[in-house]
Amino acid sequence: MLPALLPPKETLPAIAGDGITLRLLTADDLSLTLSWRNCDEIRRWFKHNDVLTMHEHQQWFDKHLLDNKAYLFIVERSEASVPVGQVSIYNIDCEASEAEVGRFIAAPGESGKGIIRNAILKLVDFGFRELELKRVFLEVYRDNLRAIRLYESVGFNEIAPDRPTTCGNVRPVMFMERLASAGWKVTPP
């Protein structure tokens, strides 16, 4: 069972370690995250992969600001507070003690440096330690081999191979999960 109350966004401290910091996404980040998200090499991996307008991006952000079961983070290099990516944990289900993770973006030029890998580890640790989740899961296109290797490297395993995608897309998807009880090494607070 999840804690009685999820940490309020307005008091959630940044999550730091391993050379990165996760801080909550703010309205000031939207121009930058929209430019990342609209890059052809990034948006092709999103469920909804149309080019977005600033108005659409703002609406998405406003919706998630009000969602008390979602945390959207900017990934920064700790030493310079330079934004280099984005990660999220959302659809938090208090009864099932589980949540979806995703919306992983490495800023152009930052891919392959281990930054998003570290950010995913911090995000999952936050879910297991702070939110007391038992399971996190994600959905990835089967042809996104680089992402699948990344997720496997941080302990995600394939599940439910015949389950339909949540977005109705006809591209084949893979569902993966990481269980808290499967040897997760939680970092001390």
Q: What pLDDT, in 10s, does the model give residues 20-67?
A: 999 999 999 999 998 988 887 887 777 778 888 999 999 999 998 888
Q: Cβ(127)–Cβ(101) under 8 Å?
A: yes
Domain assignment present for residue 98? The answer is yes
- Report the CATH number that the domain containing residue 33 is assigned in CATH: 3.40.630.30
How far from the centroid of its chain's Cα atoms is residue 119's Cα? 9
Q: Which domain holds residue 37?
A: 9-134
- Residue pLDDT, tens place only, 85-101: 999 999 999 899 999 99
How are strands ordered across the β-sheet holding 82-93? 15-17, 20-24, 71-77, 82-93, 98-106, 135-141, 173-179, 157-159
What phi-psi label fits residue 74: left (phi over 0), alpha (psi between -120 and 50 degrees) or beta? beta
In a domain, 173, yes or no: no
Number of H helices, E strands in the chain: 5, 8
